[in-house]
Amino acid sequence: AQTVTQSQPEMSVQEAETVTLSCTYDTSESNYYLFWYKQPPSRQMILVIRQEAYKQQNATENRFSVNFQKAAKSFSLKISDSQLGDTAMYFCAFMIQGAQKLVFGQGTRLTINP
């Protein structure tokens, strides 16, 4: 069975700082996708970024980027120039290609302080 682990239950940084959220996963599959979702206090789940395992280049979306280390099974999210609106729960998730099922980590609660 696939598992996703987020080892940081909570993090807190000052506005404009850079923060990195950690995620590790366990699988014997070679073709899969990795995701970071954001859940603000509104409870809405928002897709932040997606990484295909076959791509060596790390995905980037504006201030959000990932460090994908396939051999280490690590998938961290870096948020640059953090903003108050980045305050949210962040979930790392994994999906085997063709399997239709997302497996989520436990989440990291990120607080951006003014």
* CB of 18 or CB of 30, closer to another protein: 30
* CB of 85 or CB of 101, closer to another protein: 101
Phi and psi, residue 20, nearest 5°: -125, 125
Residues 6 or more apart whose Cβ sits within 8 Å of residue 7: 22, 24
Give least dist CB 15 to another protein, A. Answer: 26
* CB of 66 or CB of 93, closer to another protein: 93
11/29 Cα distance (integer angstroms): 31
State the amino acid at position 62 in one-letter form. Answer: N
Instruction: Give the torsion through C-alpha atoms of 90, 77, 49, 24, to 10 deg.
Output: -80
* CB of 16 or CB of 45, closer to another protein: 45
Residues that bind another protein (CB under 8 A): 4, 33, 43-47, 50, 91, 93, 95, 97-107
Would you tell me how many other CB atoms lie within 10 Å of the CB of residue 58?
A: 15
Give least dist CB 82 to another protein, A. Answer: 22
Give least dist CB 18 to another protein, A. Answer: 24
Give least dist CB 4 to another protein, A. Answer: 8
